[in-house]
Chains A and B, each alone.
Chain A
Amino acid sequence: MKRTIALAGNPNSGKTSLFNELTGANQYVGNWPGVTVDRKGGYLRDHEEVEILDLPGIYSLSPYSPEEVVTRQYLLQDKPDMVVNVVDATNLERNLYLTSQLLETGLPMVVVLNMMDLVEQRGDKVNPAALSRELGCPVVPVSVLRREGIQELLQHILGKIPAAPAPLRFPDCVEKALAALGETLHCTRWEQVKLLENDSTEAEKLTTAKKHEAESLRLAVEEEMGDDIASVIAAGRYDAILDFIPKVVTKAGQRSNFSMKLDAVLTHRVFGLLIFVGVMWAVYYLSINTVGDWGTAWANEVLFGPVVGGWLEGFIGSVPASAESLTMFSAVLSMVLLFPTMLRRLHDLNRSGSWLYLVILPFLLEYMCPHLPGMLHSVVLYALYAVNVCILVACFCLRGSRGLNDFGEKPRRIRKFPMSLTGRGSRREFVVWFPVLSVLSFGIALLGRSTLECSPQLSALITDGIVAGVGTVLGFLPQMAVLFLLLATLEDCGYMARVAFMMDRIFRTIGLSGKSFIPLLVSMGCGVPGVMATRTIENEKDRRMSVMLTCFVPCGAKLPIIALIGAVMGQDASIATIAYFAGIGSVILGGWMLRKTHMFAGSYTPFVMELPPYHMPSGVNINVRAMERCKSFARKAGTVIFLASALIWTLSNYTWSFRYLNTKEHEAAIEQSMLANVGNTFAPLFAPLGWGDWRPAVGTVTGLIAKENVVGTFGVLYPAAEDAAAQENDGDALPRTSDVSKANALSVLTMGIWRADGEIRRTVPAAAESDADETSEQEAASEAERPNLFFRIVNYFFGAEADEETAGVAANLKAAGAFSTMSALSFMIFNLLCAPCFAACGAIRREMNSARWTWFAIGYMCVWAYVVSLLIYQLGTWASTGEFGPGQAIACIIAAAVLYMIVRPNKYTKKH
């Protein structure tokens, strides 16, 4: 029999854990229509006909937040067959408040008393039978953590659906009014209550006469109770619950518990902040700088460089791939192909966390090991190999767990599709698929020696367009995985709520809440995980605003631009300072401005937030959440970047008559491309900003692929006057900019950091390796020349220093007289603030879940960048030369308009 069960409950009631327990890995995530609230569903283990829907965690069914609205609409319009109301047994009073509202919907209901283990631990007693009598519906005591009571719940889910329970009683005068409403309007209990409450959604359906009827009844109740209706109803619910709580709960007496003690330290005035800084540093450091970045650097410089690149060259090009590259390729491919099989086998062995280890393994091998001193290096390397062999042996030899485990029922047959990531895999399956997939990957790798000699255009499209595009996306994944795992851990253990609690003071002033802190912090490394990190903000409007503002923070990829302009102007330190102030200033001003627009108005978000008790994070929850986010990123952002990079590649490699230019070998040929033409067309648009030439315009467009491309493009478009001819013939005369631009935002950031460590050899792409020693010497020299402490710090953390290549480009720019002081500044500001790279746009699209909002966000960034650059250039010119022309006049008007937008009173704010 087909049926739909909806899980409803407060946030932190263990609803999602129960959902994971019921569905195993058998779930899907979508979005509720029109809002960015996750719609999670799944099928009951072994009972595919029972669909389970995990409704958003809410405290009430009021019509104010999007989560509440979708839940309400779903319950009332789609009418699930039964509601399973998950209730935190340690905090019945508040949890039953939602229950009292669910009772009014007239849907059959089962109440799950979760966290019974915690109740026992505290020495309290909760009587499910008594609660069942009071509520009139079945009550099942459960501990999801210990997997107790699940079977009993399953009996209710699969068995006969109980009759809809009766709602709780309000005070007599309210009941009288409700009865009167029911008589005249013939409506359900739910409608009666909502009409009496003057709930906007329900009241709309009424005729004026009936509205008056409801109105008069409401006034009578308010008169009698001496309070307004919202308060009477809410108090009525809590009082009805308090009436029977003593019959249900026996408290062992108040003791201060562990959570409270921990909280006293973690939100302490001094230690709290120190610990907070430490935790944030650790998150940033682990995900952006170390573990995540090893993965990203490995993906960019090894995987999509010599390994996949070499193989492709061999497969479709004319040079057979080397044995070394083929071995590596076959190893990586088999790892990718075998990953799902391995993962499902580990699930069968009930080793939930082991897969993480598999993910980071190749990166550890490649990146961590060369950094370690000799002896230790071999120890670590062999230890890793040994662990890997042990895992393999375990997968081959161990028997899986017999019955149910975290990941579902024991598998009975070989699954048809070996790439499925969910569920458990039997030993038989592993024994079959492991050799098959290994041989398959080896066979595919061997194709690298086939040298098909495809046309150079096709092979250029594949290597430069498609592989570079896909590589960019996949390159982000390791960092995302680490970041999401850490964030999911912080969320799951309850620390995230404290972060919001501590940071709220600062972010409230710009109209955001404390939860926006993490996205902004992560954006200093890269905007893509920054945008994705906004997921933790519950409020939809806050989240959208955070998404729009996050990309203003200068990320790692924007540093080369800062370094370039710094070198052009010969003032690195002050330029870096200006850049960071411009970014952070844009966030603050943007916050002030956007809060006053109608789109974000009325969005005064109450910061009335529960601080849930701390508890140990659950491995399964964290894994599921992190995997889910990685998958959705790869899918959605991937398509956007893929298409966009193919498009830009085509635009820059063909003339309008579709003549192929081969810009890889003849870099200067880009002047004839469609892209240059487009740049020419749009150049006048940038004239008011002081850089109306087509070349900066093209640089800005290529910056959309990845911001560091701007420097590379300038290297091509502004050849040094004396050796321009030489460069035409010999692309390597200039350090290979295209290699750098292939690496994405994150690797540039690391390059900076590792360079500061004197570790240049590992990070500079192979082509530039011969210059490496020279470069680091030069850098050491140039660093010694700059005593500015701030710049040293910025440089240490972000690497915003011109390297040899950037310095060369800067020299050419200066020689060509491309920029004046003010136009250079305006160019930099524009490129820092305008639309982010495609990867970030893809992430924005993913998080906004609406094309309209995505375009609005990107449009807003572009307009803001234009305005700021315009003001800088025009007013800057005025200040430095004293000339006042029409441009300056317009700039003054715009400045006044912006100022008005920022300081105007917020007409949507209501006084309390």
Chain B
Amino acid sequence: MQEIQPKNGSLKLNQVKVGQSVRVSHVLGEGALRQRILDMGLTRGAEVTVRKMAPLGDPLEVTVRGYQLSLRKAEAACILVE
């Protein structure tokens, strides 16, 4: 599999502001983590809304496919959105 570089203008999910809605364009990484992210519905084209940050600023809460999901910033950084 060839390495896919972030395209110009594409953001990582952890850089999205709270309250904004975006679309997933690509999921980086490999193995268990990537599979888990895909399984939870963060696939290409899925619409994601960033709802809030945890009180201590790390995991974020997003709405995807009609439910609430929490993921760490490091994991959100694997998800390219537009």
Q: Which residues of A contact B33 (CB under 8 A)?
A: 604, 606, 608, 912
Flag whether A238 is at the interface (Cβ < 8 A).
yes
Q: Are B35 and A97 in contact (CB under 8 A)?
A: no
Q: A606-B33, A912-B29 given as contacts; is B78 within 8 A of A502 (CB)?
A: no
Q: Which residues of A contact B68 (CB under 8 A)?
A: 263, 610-613
CB distance from B39 to the nearest CB of A (A): 4
Measured CB to CB, the nearest residue on chain A to B61 is A611
Q: Name A603-651 residues within 8 Å CB distance of B.
A: 604, 606-613
Q: Are A272 and B43 in contact (CB under 8 A)?
A: no
Stretch at the interface among A72-80, A226-234, A708-716: A226-234
Most B Cβ at <10 Å: residue of A65, A94, A239, A264: A94
Q: Are A508 and B55 in contact (CB under 8 A)?
A: no
Candidates A60, A91, A514; contact of B39 at CB < 8 Å:
A60
Q: How far is the CA of A269 from the CA of B45 in the complex (A)?
A: 31
Flag whether A506 is at the interface (Cβ < 8 A).
yes
Q: How far is the CA of A273 from the CA of B54 in the complex (A)?
A: 10
Flag whether A428 is at the interface (Cβ < 8 A).
no
> CB-CB contacts of B48-66 with A at 8 A, as 1s and 0s?
0000101111110100011
Q: Are B78 and A912 in contact (CB under 8 A)?
A: yes
Measured CB to CB, the nearest residue on chain A to B57 is A505
Q: Name A46-65 residues within 8 Å CB distance of B.
A: 59-60, 62, 64-65
Q: How far is the CA of A59 from the CA of B36 in the complex (A)?
A: 9
Q: Are A230 and B44 in contact (CB under 8 A)?
A: no
Q: How far is the CA of A65 from the CA of B44 in the complex (A)?
A: 23
CB distance from A641 to the nearest CB of B (A): 38
Q: Which residues of B contact A267 (CB under 8 A)?
A: 52, 54-55, 61
Which size class do B's interface residues fall under?
35 or more
Q: Are A94 and B41 in contact (CB under 8 A)?
A: yes
Q: Which residues of A contact B32 (CB under 8 A)?
A: 62, 64-65, 604, 606
Q: Are A501 and B26 in contact (CB under 8 A)?
A: no
Measured CB to CB, the nearest residue on chain B to A264 is B52
Q: Are A502 and B66 in contact (CB under 8 A)?
A: no
Q: How far is the CA of A94 from the CA of B37 in the complex (A)?
A: 12
Measured CB to CB, the nearest residue on chain A to B32 is A64
Measured CB to CB, the nearest residue on chain B to A609 is B70
CB distance from A283 to the nearest CB of B (A): 19
Q: Are B75 and A59 in contact (CB under 8 A)?
A: no
Q: A59-B40, A227-B44 given as contacts; is B66 within 8 A of A91 (CB)?
A: yes
Q: Which residues of B contact A379 (CB under 8 A)?
A: none
Q: Name B1-55 residues within 8 Å CB distance of A.
A: 1, 26-41, 43-46, 52, 54-55
Number of interface residues of A (CB under 8 A): 45
Q: Are A234 and B30 in contact (CB under 8 A)?
A: no
Q: Which residues of B contact A238 (CB under 8 A)?
A: 41, 43, 46, 65
Q: Are B29 and A93 in contact (CB under 8 A)?
A: no
Q: Which residues of A contact B77 (CB under 8 A)?
A: 912
Q: Which residues of A contact B31 (CB under 8 A)?
A: 64, 910
Q: Are A94 and B35 in contact (CB under 8 A)?
A: no
Flag whether A598 is at the interface (Cβ < 8 A).
no
Q: A501-B70, A608-B75, A611-B69 given as contacts; is B58 within 8 A of A93 (CB)?
A: no
Candidates B26, B29, B65; contact of A94 at CB < 8 Å:
B65
Measured CB to CB, the nearest residue on chain A to B30 is A910
CB distance from B32 to the nearest CB of A (A): 4
Flag whether A279 is at the interface (Cβ < 8 A).
no
Q: Are B67 and A94 in contact (CB under 8 A)?
A: yes
Q: How far is the CA of A504 from the CA of B57 in the complex (A)?
A: 10
Most A Cβ at <10 Å: residue of B41, B66, B70, B71: B70
Q: Which residues of B contact A234 (CB under 8 A)?
A: 35, 38-39, 43
CB distance from B27 to the nearest CB of A (A): 6
CB distance from B24 to the nearest CB of A (A): 9
Q: Are B52 and A97 in contact (CB under 8 A)?
A: no
Q: Are A607 and B67 in contact (CB under 8 A)?
A: no
Candidates B46, B58, B67; contact of A610 at CB < 8 Å:
B67
CB distance from B80 to the nearest CB of A (A): 12
CB distance from B52 to the nearest CB of A (A): 7
Most A Cβ at <10 Å: residue of B29, B34, B43, B75: B43
Q: Are B40 and A610 in contact (CB under 8 A)?
A: yes
Q: How far is the CA of A238 from the CA of B55 in the complex (A)?
A: 32
Q: A235-B44, A607-B72, A611-B69 given as contacts; is B55 within 8 A of A273 (CB)?
A: yes
Q: How far is the CA of A760 from the CA of B52 in the complex (A)?
A: 50
Q: Which residues of A contact B36 (CB under 8 A)?
A: 59-60, 62, 64, 606, 608
Q: Are B72 and A508 in contact (CB under 8 A)?
A: yes
Q: Which residues of B contact A612 (CB under 8 A)?
A: 68
Flag whether A351 is at the interface (Cβ < 8 A).
no
Flag whether A779 is at the interface (Cβ < 8 A).
no
Q: How far is the CA of A606 from the CA of B30 in the complex (A)?
A: 12
Q: A235-B44, A272-B55 given as contacts; is B70 within 8 A of A611 (CB)?
A: yes
Most A Cβ at <10 Å: residue of B28, B35, B41: B35
Flag whether A104 is at the interface (Cβ < 8 A).
no
Q: Are A505 and B56 in contact (CB under 8 A)?
A: yes
Flag whether A147 is at the interface (Cβ < 8 A).
no
Flag whether A133 is at the interface (Cβ < 8 A).
no
Q: How far is the CA of A222 from the CA of B2 in the complex (A)?
A: 10
CB distance from B56 to the nearest CB of A (A): 4
Q: A505-B58, A604-B33 given as contacts; is B69 within 8 A of A610 (CB)?
A: yes
Q: Are B27 and A268 in contact (CB under 8 A)?
A: no
Q: Which residues of A contact B61 (CB under 8 A)?
A: 267, 501, 611
CB distance from B55 to the nearest CB of A (A): 5
CB distance from A907 to the nearest CB of B (A): 16
> CB-CB contacts of A164-197 with B at 8 A, as 1s and 0s?
0000000000000000000000000000000000
Candidates A60, A64, A222, A506; contact of B56 at CB < 8 Å:
A506
Q: Which residues of B contact A272 (CB under 8 A)?
A: 55
Measured CB to CB, the nearest residue on chain B to A59 is B39
Q: Are A504 and B69 in contact (CB under 8 A)?
A: no
Q: How far is the CA of A93 from the CA of B66 in the complex (A)?
A: 8
Q: A227-B26, A502-B56 given as contacts; is B75 within 8 A of A606 (CB)?
A: yes
CB distance from B20 to the nearest CB of A (A): 16
Most B Cβ at <10 Å: residue of A270, A611, A910: A611
Q: A93-B66, A94-B65 given as contacts; is B41 within 8 A of A222 (CB)?
A: no
Q: Which residues of A contact B38 (CB under 8 A)?
A: 230-231, 234-235
Q: A62-B39, A610-B68 given as contacts; is B59 within 8 A of A231 (CB)?
A: no
Q: How far is the CA of A264 from the CA of B75 in the complex (A)?
A: 23
Q: Are A912 and B74 in contact (CB under 8 A)?
A: yes
CB distance from A270 to the nearest CB of B (A): 8
Q: Are A230 and B71 in contact (CB under 8 A)?
A: no
Q: Which residues of A contact B72 (CB under 8 A)?
A: 504, 508, 607
Q: Which residues of B contact A501 (CB under 8 A)?
A: 54, 59, 61, 70
Measured CB to CB, the nearest residue on chain A to B45 is A235
Candidates A97, A263, A264, A604; contact of B41 at CB < 8 Å:
A97
Q: How far is the CA of A585 from the CA of B45 in the complex (A)?
A: 45
Q: How far is the CA of A506 from the CA of B78 in the complex (A)?
A: 21
Q: Name A351-367 residues within 8 Å CB distance of B.
A: none
Q: How far is the CA of A224 from the CA of B29 in the complex (A)?
A: 21
Q: Are A607 and B1 in contact (CB under 8 A)?
A: no
Q: Which residues of B contact A497 (CB under 8 A)?
A: 70
Candidates A228, A504, A910; contact of B1 at CB < 8 Å:
A228
Contact sample, A vs B, 24 pairs, CB 8 Å cutoff? A94-B40, A97-B39, A97-B41, A227-B26, A230-B38, A238-B46, A267-B61, A268-B55, A270-B55, A501-B54, A501-B59, A502-B54, A504-B54, A504-B59, A506-B56, A604-B32, A606-B36, A607-B59, A608-B36, A608-B70, A609-B70, A610-B67, A611-B69, A912-B78
- Ranked nearest first, the 3 interchain pairs of A and B with the lowest CB-CB distance are A234-B38, A505-B56, A60-B39
* B interface, CB within 8 angstroms of A: 1, 26-41, 43-46, 52, 54-59, 61, 65-72, 74-75, 77-78
Further pairs besides A263-B68, A504-B59, A912-B29: 16, Cβ < 8 Å = A60-B39, A62-B32, A91-B65, A94-B41, A228-B1, A231-B26, A234-B38, A267-B52, A267-B55, A504-B72, A505-B57, A604-B32, A606-B33, A607-B59, A609-B70, A912-B28
